[in-house]
Amino acid sequence: MTDTPIRVGFIGLNPGAHWAATAHIPALKALPDSYEVVGVANTSLASARNAADAFGLPHAFENAQALVNSPAIDLVVVTVKVPHHRELVTAALNAGKHVYCEWPLGNGLAEAKDLADLAEAKGVVAAVGTQMRVAPEVEYLRQLIADGYVGEVLSTTLVGSGGQWTAETDAAHAYLHERNNGATLLSIPLGHTLAGVHEVLGGFSDLAARMINRRTTTRVTDTNETIPMTSHDQVLVQGLLESGAAVSIHYRGGLSRGTNLLWEINGTQGDLQVTGVTGHAQIVQLSIRGANGETSEMAPLTPPASAYDGWPDNSVARNVAHLYALIAQDIRSGTRTAPSFRDAVALHETLDAIERSAARNSHWHGRSNVPPAALRTPVEC
């Protein structure tokens, strides 16, 4: 496969402003020597044919099983809702295909572990779409930290807004508001961003969390229906990183009129600040400012031009393209450089720890802003 493009089949590709069309297709077009998109399977054959016609693909499959069984497909890309990931990824792995699955890998930790075990047993490349890890700005941040720009990291603070998980939604996104679907404020915007934080600063050694529902219903604008919102719209985490640095996180539903993404890294010799227009740090253009040594005011810090030259000109497709480049290298060379299913398990473990900590502290969740006096003490992790 070193001389021919890797043949890609999508499960979940539709024309218009859908994720696969706006992120994956431009990313793959930026790597024409490595990839060729050849097929699609959607919820119906008619839908698959519509997508195949729109994107000029030779194969429209009647269902996902037909796609994963096809000898015309080398890499299966799964870009559907989280509750369907386990079934579709399992089918692709059992067919011996390489797989790129969107994050979250599974609907919870147990599913992610099962998929990682199966991928390793099959010996294929199995990558997960935590593309913030390979964003040029995150790679630059990681190098700044490694080079000692801030000295020893003392603490990091993260505040973000999720956009969804607010008083209104539309029918296409209503499923995000049901916690059991696994596509929550915690798992999607915060989960994606934590993948980048882990890449730069390492993981948690311990944590304590609160998850709160300040909004209990949301209105579906398409239908004017009011539905329950069981996915939390406030996530708070405090703890220690493996390095010993302190960490504090607050993610909230909706958008703020003020700050929607602020990630600060404070050290003995300097400080770094990362901002963006939403808390979905995996897709927004990140801006970095910093100061160290005798400098008292922060100034912009920009990755080298080579990090952007030849890549898509927007952060949505560019980050995904960087991930696809690693997948191609892994398929052709037998390496394992792309974010893997096992990496996804580690991230799921962090989210699971947040949920378990929040559950232990749920006795004063809800609309009350002040816990009973007996509970105003540190909570053991």
Question: Looking at the predicted structure, is the pLDDT value of residue 327 above 60?
Answer: yes
Q: What is the pLDDT of residue 3?
A: 76
- Looking at residues 64-84, what average pLDDT do you find? 98
Which ranges constitute the DSSP H helices of 147-211? 191-201
Taken in order 368, 373, 377, 380, the sign of the CA dihedral is: negative
Q: What is the pLDDT of residue 362?
A: 78
Q: In the chain, pLDDT over 70 holds for what percent of residues?
A: 94
Question: Looking at the predicted structure, is the pLDDT value of residue 367 above 60?
Answer: no
Q: What is the pLDDT of residue 1?
A: 52
pLDDT tens-digit map of 10-59: 999 999 879 999 999 999 999 999 999 999 999 999 999 999 999 999 99
Q: What is the pLDDT of residue 373?
A: 40
pLDDT tens-digit map of 217-245: 999 999 999 999 999 999 999 999 999 99
Per the prediction, the chain carries an average pLDDT of 94
CA distance to 161, 179, 358, per residue, from 235 (Å): 10, 13, 9
Q: What is the pLDDT of residue 371?
A: 41
Q: Which two tokens stand for residue 109?
A: 């930790």
Cβ neighbours for 366, distance < 8 A, ≥ 6 positions apart: 212, 213
pLDDT tens-digit map of 329-357: 999 999 999 999 999 999 999 999 999 99
Strand ranges in the chain using DSSP code E only, listed in sequence order: 6-11, 35-41, 59-60, 75-78, 98-102, 126-129, 153-161, 168-169, 204-212, 217-220, 225-228, 234-241, 246-252, 261-267, 270-275, 287-292, 299-301
- Looking at residues 259-288, what average pLDDT do you find? 98
Asked whether the whole model's pTM tops 0.75, one would answer: yes
pLDDT tens-digit map of 136-149: 999 999 999 999 99
Burial 243-253 (b: 16+ CB within 10 A, else e): eebebebbbbb
Strand ranges in 79-149 using DSSP code E only, listed in sequence order: 98-102, 126-129
Instruction: Count CB atoms within 10 A of the CB of residue 299.
Output: 8
Q: What is the pLDDT of residue 368?
A: 38
Cβ neighbours for 356, distance < 8 A, ≥ 6 positions apart: none
